[in-house]
Amino acid sequence: MPKADVLSLANDLSLAQVDQTILGDLYDDFMLELGRVEPWLTSVAMIQSLNGQATYTPQPEVIRILSAFYDELHLSNVGERELEETAELWRDVDGHPIAFTVDAETGKVFRVYPKPDVDGAALVGGFGQVTYAEAIYGGSVPLGSAFSSGTISLLYSSKRLSFLPYMEFPIAFLLLQREFMLESAHRDEGFASACGALGTLFMEMIRDGRGVV
């Protein structure tokens, strides 16, 4: 469901009292928040590793890395302190990666340990990074044994242009809750509260705990 449709729905539900610019910003903020707290929108991406390079910056649409793999191997998500306990000069160790740690400041840039001691083969597609769309939909890039060697794969919560269609209704209400709590000529705490209650109610109806990560 495109962003414009959700904003249009919210506008209709508010009887055209919303500030569309602010609502658009709230939409973007909400997508990021949801991706950090409870990943509904999830994707997979691949990155070609390089000999001696430990640190990688994932694709811009990555909000939170849920899991990482080096070729077939699941990488343990560990903190830097744990790695320091493993080896004093852990940053200099190279070999076959077995773990990764996410930079606390960015929440996205990550380091693999040990750093790869070989160059990864070029990814099928040849762009160095295979995008989500190419990886998921491209028949030439099956997410299986046809992987190039030395590939780092990520499962992540993603930032996209739109939510899933069934999320439109609750999210429109949750955006209205935020918009009408803000200081403005149309601020209305009662309406905001009611929209929050409806948004929460409808969100619960579409929740599925099975994919929770």
Partner 1 sequence: MAFTAQELTDDLLRRVRDAGGGMHSRTFARSILSKVQQSVNAKYRNVIASTPLTVEKTRQIYSISASLPSAVFVDAIRDGERDVPFANWRELSQSDQAWFRRQGDRIEVFSLVGRDLLVLHPGLPVAGSVTVLFTKFTSVLSAESSPTEVDDDLVPEIMKLSEAVLLVVGRRLEQAKAMIQPEGAAVA
Query: Residues interacting with partner 1, by CB under 8 A?
Result: 12-15, 39-44, 66-67, 69, 71-74, 136-137, 139, 142-147, 153, 155, 157, 164-166, 168-170, 188, 190-191, 194-195, 197-198, 201-202, 204-206, 208, 210-211, 213
Token pair in block for residue 157? 């919560």
Closest distance of CB 89 from partner 1, Å: 26
Closest distance of CB 21 from partner 1, Å: 22
**For residue 177, which of 42, 30, 3 has the smallest C-alpha distance?**
30
Closest distance of CB 65 from partner 1, Å: 12
Listed in sequence order, the residues at least 6 apart from 97 whose beta carbon sits closer than 8 Å to its beta carbon are 49, 70, 73, 75, 112, 113, 114, 115, 116, 152
Nearer to partner 1, 91 or 98 (CB): 98
Task: State the amino acid at position 160 in one-letter form.
Answer: R
Token pair in block for residue 30? 């909400």
Nearer to partner 1, 88 or 204 (CB): 204
Q: Which helix (H) or strand (E) holds 83?
A: helix 80-86
Nearer to partner 1, 128 or 211 (CB): 211
